[in-house]
Amino acid sequence: MQVRRDTPVNPAVAPLLAAHVAEQRAGTPAGFSFALDGAALVGPDVTFFTAWEGDTLAGMGALKRLDETTGEVKSMRSTPAARGHGAGHAILSAIVAEARALGLAALYLETGTTPAYDAAVRLYTRAGFVPCGAFADYRPSPHNRFFRLAL
User: Which residues does 106 contact at the CB level (< 8 Å), separation at least 6?
Assistant: 69, 70, 71, 148, 149, 150, 151
Query: Which DSSP string do the residues of 58-124 spell out, in sequence order?
Result: EEEEEEEE-SSSEEEEEEEEE-GGGTTTTHHHHHHHHHHHHHHHTT-SEEEEEEE-SGGGHHHHHHH
Closest listed residue to residue 99, CA positions, set 87, 108, 90: 108
Query: 3-class secondary structure for 1-60?
Result: CEEEEECCCCCCCHHHHHHHHHHHHHHCCCCCCCCCCCHHHCCCCEEEEEEEECCEEEEE
CATH number of 2-150: 3.40.630.30
Q: What pLDDT is recorded for position 63?
A: 97
pTM here is 0.90
pLDDT-derived band at 31 (thresholds 50, 70, 90) equals low
pLDDT-derived band at 32 (thresholds 50, 70, 90) equals low
Domain extents in the chain: 2-150
pLDDT-derived band at 18 (thresholds 50, 70, 90) equals confident
Looking at the predicted structure, is the pLDDT value of residue 132 above 70?
yes
Mean pLDDT of 50-56: 95
Residue 38 β-bridge partners: none
Integer angstrom CA distances of residue 138 from 34, 55, 75, 145: 9, 37, 16, 10
CA gap 92, 129 in Å, rounded: 11
Contact between 87 and 78 (Cβ < 8 Å): yes
Q: What is the mean pLDDT of the chain?
A: 90
Contact between 107 and 130 (Cβ < 8 Å): no
